[in-house]
A and B are shown apart, each in its own frame.
Chain A
Amino acid sequence: MKHRGVLVAVLGLAAVVTAYIWITGDIVAVQSQGSDRFRSAVGPVPATPQRPGDAEAGYRALVNEPYVNCGMPYRAYRRFNPEVDPVDLLPEREARNAELPYAFTSHVNADGVEIVSSNCLLCHASRFNGELVVGLGNEFLDFTQDPRRIVNQVGSYVQGEADSAAWQRWADRVDGIAPYIQMQTVGVNPATNLTWALMAHRDNKTLEWSAEPLIEPPPTSPLPVSVPPWWRMQKKNAMFYTTIGRGDHARFMIMASLLCADTLEEVEIVDAYGPDIRAYLESLRPPPYPYPVDIDLAEEGRTVFEENCSRCHGTYGEDGSYPNLVVPLDEIETDNEYALAATDGRRDRFYQWVENSYYGNSVQIAPAPGYIAPPLDGVWATAPYLHNGSVPDIQSLLDSSTRPKFWRHRVAPREYDPSSLGWRYDRLNHGKANVDDPEMARHVYDTTLPGYGNGGHGFGDHLSNYERNAVIEYLKTL
């Protein structure tokens, strides 16, 4: 009782201090002091020990386990999607999964209803010239539409009480997140905002879902991110563009189950194989560049690269090294909104949610006010570029004067341009606001929108065209 008395006294004192600071207008200083634990410095990111895992078991778990355990009842799914394109099938999938497209996983729920849910590969697998590459971010997914549309469409095929209850659980979750995941442009991804929205709707101790947000939800205009390739995980000491994901990477990865997991028990089951999945991701390597390379020019490019790019992006080959460096915003000068939102206090309530949850036991959520310079293995495959996917190819990444202000990917068919290292696109004269056809407007990348800017990373601007082409040739070899 004595201790309790002291505690109350201390809390009382804290309240008085807070009141004093409020009155004196010094609240900003207190907030930053209180949230220091949620920030990292720019510069090198230290390595942290990871839980060991089995890469082969990780692949099997990735493509078979129901870590996202709500979705469409199979009977409705099958009627809504009667046909499967054989090119969408993946090897080593078990039972029903063997006949489902790669981005979907089946399981039977406690009521005996077979459920089909999206899996990680929805965003983390993509085609390159017809070949499905697991780990390559999908830069063509459409998050511009209200996802409740598909919920209603699938719902009209659902019959029976048990199937309806299973569908409703999924529909409720989608209802909860729908306002926070609609993007301005086809291709960019709302994953970060989605994660915050899920936290806003869940009790961080029990993970119980609440139809009404329990803390202030994130903004309804998500900041765009390009999906990075998984094979970077082998070199990176922290996850995500601002290096917010520090500590136990596997536990960050299993946050994917937050869409549906309503209890800690469900999360613990996923967490048990999380380290295997992490090991699998770290075992991934980029595919080889599929077109001819001018070896002599590439060798010249290597010299230019090592003089101009390696300080941040590292060196490659047998003795290669990667510095794990966060570049401060005033140096990188790329669109700062994503890093600012992560580090100016606007998202701290979500960091507190994590800190006091099951996840907080082993992860540190600590973004830096900058962007990490990624390892460039297989970079030729990962267009468009920068954290927000605002620059369509490497050629214009290295020559900022040629970057399109308004542009649109050509998608029918999608075609790769080996000379510029990006998907072919059309340069447009107008931004989204001046495109009348809503269907057309959804495909316009408008770099004047907040968070969609294409400035910065001017580190290639001083190079000659010959040097730039040499660097491009060298990047094909990574």
Chain B
Amino acid sequence: METWQLTAFLRNERGEDIGFQFSVFRVGIVSPGAPPPSSVWEVRDIYLGNVTVNGMLQGGVDGDERISRGMPGVAGFDPDIHELRIDNWSLQFVEDTGRGEMQLDVAVGKVRAELSLTPLKAPIATDDDAAPFRGYSVTRLSVNGHLNGSQGRDVVSGTAWFDHIWGELPVPGASPIVWDRLQLHLNDGRDLSLIRSRRRDGSGAATVDGYVVDSEGQFSSLDEASTELVIARIWRGARGAYPVDWQLKANDLNFQVTPLIDEQEYDFAVPVWNGMVRAESKPGIRRIGGVGMMQLTGYQAQ
């Protein structure tokens, strides 16, 4: 399996916040050692893409999902033109400048996004020997571009987070494990990534895998000993009940994480609550805030 995920935290000229996420999953259906395909019609990979947009743009959320066979020009990563494509969605990696820039072009419902992305920090490797996957993350990129929606063509800007991982990857929400995933861009320049894993039956202990990258690119890891996560509120959707509001302590950080809007549940292949959140430190403490994306899987009714 291989995944590419781009999460952007945008603001338009009217000051409205928009969360945007573009994900593509490649599932190989033959072993890597298989002989080359005899024709372009021979299926080697299935691609699954999804895009979610939320925020004030539509007064709610929008999401779409695409499934395609891997085939040049239809779905897949084309190394000649450095482009990841699924149907009419594309993510172009700009090779000429050597700065790791990207161009995203996707359309979801009435929304079309054309975004230019420039890395602000060096990529970091997901380098855990115990894990059966490899990859890298660019935890902060600057974003500029346009969103076309019901109110016309908006100029947007903000920051984004990009992950590219390959190997044996778990399918979130399909196992007896609940995953609470959070990516935050803090306004002091730090980026925080965190996955909390718990048993769906509520027994056992929660474990945390995460890290903080500071404004200089310095990396420090987080685990359950250095992190305290208290659920402050549950939101009930059509497919499950999700802990959308957190009190989060991680090392010296201590803040409330709340969704921009509650209704960010998606009925994808596995039900997911996937949405933009805001982090705000408690009054009296050094004011640190930020924006981010929370992804909650494994909460569907049993």
- Chain A contacts to B: CB under 8 angstroms: 79-82, 146, 148-153, 155-159, 164, 167-168, 171-172, 175, 178, 211, 438
Q: Which of B97-105, B200-208, B246-254 lies at the interface with chain A?
A: B200-208
Instruction: Pick from A82, A153, A158, A175: contact of B176, CB below 8 A.
Output: A158
- Chain B contacts to A: CB under 8 angstroms: 130-132, 167-168, 170-172, 174-177, 179, 197-199, 201, 203-207, 224-225
Q: How far is the CB of A269 from chain B (nearest CB, A)?
A: 28
Contacts of A159 in B (CB 8 A): 171, 174-175
In the complex formed, the residue of B with least CB distance to A157 is B170
Instruction: Pick from A79, A80, A151, A164: contact of B204, CB below 8 A.
Output: A151
Q: How far is the CB of A240 from chain B (nearest CB, A)?
A: 30
Among A81, A146, A156, A164, find the residue whose CB has the most chain B CB atoms closer than 10 A. Answer: A156
Q: How far is the CB of B171 from chain A (nearest CB, A)?
A: 7
Contacts of B176 in A (CB 8 A): 155, 158, 164, 167-168
What are 17 inter-chain pairs, A to B, with CB distance below 8 A? A79-B132, A79-B168, A80-B168, A82-B132, A146-B207, A146-B224, A149-B224, A152-B199, A152-B206, A152-B207, A153-B197, A156-B172, A156-B197, A159-B174, A168-B199, A175-B203, A211-B203
Q: Is the CB of B205 within 8 A of A146?
A: yes
Q: How far is the CB of B285 from chain A (nearest CB, A)?
A: 24
Contacts of A82 in B (CB 8 A): 132, 167-168
- Per the bound structure, the CA–CA distance linking A190 and B171 in Å amounts to 34
- Per the bound structure, the CA–CA distance linking A157 and B175 in Å amounts to 6
Q: Is the CB of A178 within 8 A of B175?
A: no
Q: Is the CB of A148 within 8 A of B175?
A: no
Task: Answer whether A152 and B204 are a contact pair too, CB < 8 Å, given A80-B132, A158-B176.
Answer: yes
Q: Is the CB of B132 within 8 A of A171?
A: no
In the complex formed, the residue of B with least CB distance to A149 is B207
Q: How far is the CB of A78 from chain B (nearest CB, A)?
A: 9
Contacts of B199 in A (CB 8 A): 152, 155, 168, 171
Instruction: Pick from B132, B167, B172, B198: contact of A152, CB below 8 A.
Output: B198
Contacts of A175 in B (CB 8 A): 203-205
In the complex formed, the residue of A with least CB distance to B201 is A168
The 6 closest A-B pairs by CB, nearest first: A156-B170, A152-B197, A155-B177, A148-B205, A156-B177, A164-B176
Contacts of A151 in B (CB 8 A): 204
In the complex formed, the residue of A with least CB distance to B208 is A149
In the complex formed, the residue of B with least CB distance to A439 is B221
- Per the bound structure, the CA–CA distance linking A171 and B197 in Å amounts to 13
Q: How far is the CB of B246 from chain A (nearest CB, A)?
A: 19
Q: How far is the CB of A393 from chain B (nearest CB, A)?
A: 28
Task: Answer whether A148 and B130 are a contact pair too, CB < 8 Å, given A79-B168, A155-B197, A156-B179.
Answer: no
Contacts of B131 in A (CB 8 A): 153
In the complex formed, the residue of B with least CB distance to A150 is B130
- Per the bound structure, the CA–CA distance linking A158 and B197 in Å amounts to 13
Contacts of B197 in A (CB 8 A): 152-153, 155-156
Q: Is the CB of A156 within 8 A of B175?
A: yes
- Per the bound structure, the CA–CA distance linking A158 and B70 in Å amounts to 26
Beyond the given A79-B132, A157-B168, A168-B176, please list 20 additional residue pairs across the A-B interface where CB-CB is below 8 A: A81-B132, A82-B168, A146-B207, A146-B224, A149-B224, A151-B204, A152-B198, A152-B206, A152-B207, A155-B197, A156-B172, A156-B179, A159-B171, A167-B176, A168-B199, A168-B201, A171-B203, A175-B203, A175-B205, A178-B205
Among A157, A172, A211, A438, find the residue whose CB has the most chain B CB atoms closer than 10 A. Answer: A157
Contacts of A164 in B (CB 8 A): 175-176
Contacts of A171 in B (CB 8 A): 199, 203-204
Contacts of B207 in A (CB 8 A): 146, 148-149, 152-153
- Per the bound structure, the CA–CA distance linking A159 and B205 in Å amounts to 20
Contacts of A158 in B (CB 8 A): 175-177
Q: How far is the CB of A143 from chain B (nearest CB, A)?
A: 15
Q: Is the CB of B175 within 8 A of A155?
A: yes
Contacts of A148 in B (CB 8 A): 204-205, 207
Q: Is the CB of A172 within 8 A of B205?
A: no
